[in-house]
């Protein structure tokens, strides 16, 4: 029956599990359960405090209350709960200083993964090119191809802290370029793009009349020494930018599957019109339950203290191991580790699962520039000590490998 895949679109036919076909990712099937049963710490899921309970009490109370009321058995309109959209608009104004009309500029998505591919779909025709910085979130490389486009990888470099070199965009733009896909803050590097480089990228988009889809899933995890700038606020960008956000990362509510997209009313009319066909309705219960997190998000500061402790612990630990290095993350609850001097990243990922009982992400999935790197979710586990213990096991395994390589 393998021949049946020849009837598929090529972009789909080539898929064989993708990120999820190997134990290194451990996201689907029974692989995760088998690894957990073997005592492996699953630090490859970008899911804060996984697997420990971490629902803020007001969110838990709201979920229980709404379940008892019985209304969550029913649909919410595909464009989203009106009260939740008001809360999102108020939060954006408080956080960034610009106003949105919740009834005209915002749509609720069942998670930002859905929101990202939906955001791209109205724009990309067969052969259209989408520029994606590399490294980047793996779906950013695949999504353009799934909807008929062509992914153009734009390298960023560790010596720059993976910040944007606008000349790399300029030498790759063609008459077929339709879109720039930006993840800010960056996953997996944790880079927060500066106002200056975003101004350069914005001017590039305006000059070449490009659409910008910006994934801001990690916007609430920026450390205080860095500025979070929304590219949609820059000159000429509001009318050409679609911004996608989520409760999954900063709020740590990934299991609720609630995201949101905002754009001009002209653009949003299209998403409203297509919502029922493309994404359906986001969970009624989830939308009602997350509202208290928007009314009072002070709990995020407690989370950020944990992430700060863990990035600093990892930075000190791994940079003292021969053949291993990492840069201080500017955002997020993950660390991007350079192990290129120790060997192949796929082999080392498998080695760590066995030797250190820790599952990480192979950097190869995050683009050509990810080769020789690993992504570690330092934000796993509620208690710092559990995260530190896993990192200590990794460090011991790295040192053992460094000795074999003659680096120690």
- What's the whole-model pTM score? 0.93
Judgement on whether residues 212 and 148 belong to the same structural domain of the protein: yes
Same domain, residue pair 341 and 399: yes
Q: Are residues 320 and 247 in the same domain?
A: no
State mean pLDDT over 345-366.
Answer: 95
Quickly tell me which residue has 């796993």 as its tokens.
Answer: 380
Q: With a cut of 80, say whether residue 12 has pLDDT above it.
A: no
Please check whether residues 96 and 146 belong to one and the same domain: yes
Shared-domain flag, residues 13 and 139? no
Name the residue range of residue 135's domain. 57-295
Section 363-375 average pLDDT? 96
Is the same domain home to 87 and 101? Answer: yes
Q: Looking at the structure, do residues 262 and 367 belong to the same domain, yes or no? A: no
Q: What is the pLDDT of residues 161-172, one digit of tens each?
A: 999 999 999 999
Among 295, 316, 331, the domain-final residue is 295
- DSSP-assigned beta bridge partners for residue 107: 261
- 27 and 115 housed in the same domain: no
Predicted confidence at residue 17, as pLDDT, reads 56
- C-alpha–C-alpha distance, residues 259 and 236, integer Å: 25
Structural domains counted in the chain = 2
The verdict on 321 and 274 lying in the same domain is: no
Question: What is the residue-averaged pLDDT of the chain?
Answer: 93
Looking at 295, 318, 340, the residue that finishes a domain is 295
When pLDDT is cut at 50, 70 and 90, the band that residue 1 belongs to is: low
Report the CATH number at residue 396: 3.90.1150.10
Note whether 24 and 79 are same-domain residues: no
Rounded Cα distance, 128 and 325, in Å = 38
Alpha helix (H) ranges present in 296-344?
A: 299-318
Predicted local confidence at residue 20, as pLDDT: 46
Last residue of one domain, picked from the residues 269, 295, 321? 295
DSSP string, 222-245: B-TTS----GGGSTTTGGGEEEEE
Burial of 81 (C-beta count, 10 Å sphere; 0-12/13-18/19+) = buried
**For the chain, give me the number of helices (H) and strands (E)?**
13, 13
Dump pLDDT digits (tens) for 176-215.
Answer: 999 999 999 999 999 999 999 999 999 999 999 999 999 9
pLDDT at 87 > cutoff 80: yes
pLDDT digits (tens, 9 = 90+) for 292-321: 999 999 999 999 999 999 999 999 999 999
Q: CA-CA-CA-CA torsion for 79, 85, 86, 89, nearest 10 degrees?
A: -120
**Confidence band for 26, pLDDT divided at 50, 70 and 90:** very low
**Are residues 145 and 126 located together in one domain of the fold?**
yes
pLDDT at 64: 96
Residue of 71, 2, 120 whose CA lies nearest to 287: 71
Does residue 51 sit in the same domain as residue 62?
no
Residue 86, pLDDT score: 98
pLDDT tens for 230-282 read 999 999 999 999 999 999 999 999 999 999 999 999 999 999 999 999 999 99
Q: What is the DSSP string of 308-365?
A: HHHHHHHHHHHTTSTT-EEPPPSBSS-EEEE-TTT--HHHHHHHHHHHT-EE-EEGGG
Report whether pLDDT(21) > 70: no
């Amino acid at each position: 029956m393998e021949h049946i895949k020849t009837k598929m679109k090529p972009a789909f036919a080539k898929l064989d599990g993708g990120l999820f076909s190997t134990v290194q990712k451990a996201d689907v099937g029974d692989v995760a359960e088998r690894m957990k049963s073997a005592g492996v710490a699953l630090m490859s899921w970008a899911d804060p405090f996984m697997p420990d309970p971490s629902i803020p009490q007001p969110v838990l109370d709201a979920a229980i209350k709404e379940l008892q009321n019985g209304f969550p058995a029913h649909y919410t309109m595909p464009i989203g709960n009106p009260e939740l959209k008001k809360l999102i608009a108020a939060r954006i104004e408080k956080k960034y200083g610009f106003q949105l009309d919740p009834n005209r500029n915002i749509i609720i998505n069942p998670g930002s993964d859905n929101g990202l591919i939906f955001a791209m779909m109205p724009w990309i025709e067969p052969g259209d090119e989408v520029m994606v910085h590399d490294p980047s979130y793996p779906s950013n490389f695949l999504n353009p191809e799934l909807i008929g486009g062509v992914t153009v990888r734009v390298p960023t470099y560790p010596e720059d802290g993976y910040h944007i070199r606008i000349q790399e965009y300029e030498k790759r733009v063609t008459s077929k370029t339709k879109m720039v896909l930006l993840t800010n803050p960056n996953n997996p590097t944790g880079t927060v793009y500066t106002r200056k480089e975003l101004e350069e990228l914005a001017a590039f988009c305006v000059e070449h009349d490009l659409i910008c889809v910006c994934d801001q899933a990690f916007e609430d995890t920026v450390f205080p020494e860095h500025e979070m700038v929304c590219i949609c606020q820059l000159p000429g960008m509001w009318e050409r930018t679609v911004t996608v956000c989520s409760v999954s990362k900063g709020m740590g509510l990934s299991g609720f599957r609630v995201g949101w997209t905002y754009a001009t009313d002209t653009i949003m009319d299209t998403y409203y019109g297509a919502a029922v066909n493309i994404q359906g309705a986001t969970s009624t219960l989830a939308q009602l339950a997350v509202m208290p997190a928007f009314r009072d998000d002070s709990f995020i500061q407690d989370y950020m203290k944990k992430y700060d402790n863990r990035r600093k612990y990892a930075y000190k630990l791994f940079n003292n191991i021969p053949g291993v290095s990492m840069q201080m993350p500017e955002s997020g609850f993950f660390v991007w580790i350079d192990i290129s001097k120790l060997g192949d990243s796929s082999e080392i990922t498998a080695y760590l699962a066995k030797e250190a009982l820790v599952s990480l992400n192979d950097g190869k999935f995050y683009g050509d520039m990810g080769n020789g790197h690993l992504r570690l979710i330092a934000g796993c586990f509620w208690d710092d000590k559990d995260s530190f213990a896993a990192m200590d096991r990794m460090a011991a395994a790295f040192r053992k490998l460094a000795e074999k390589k003659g680096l120690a």
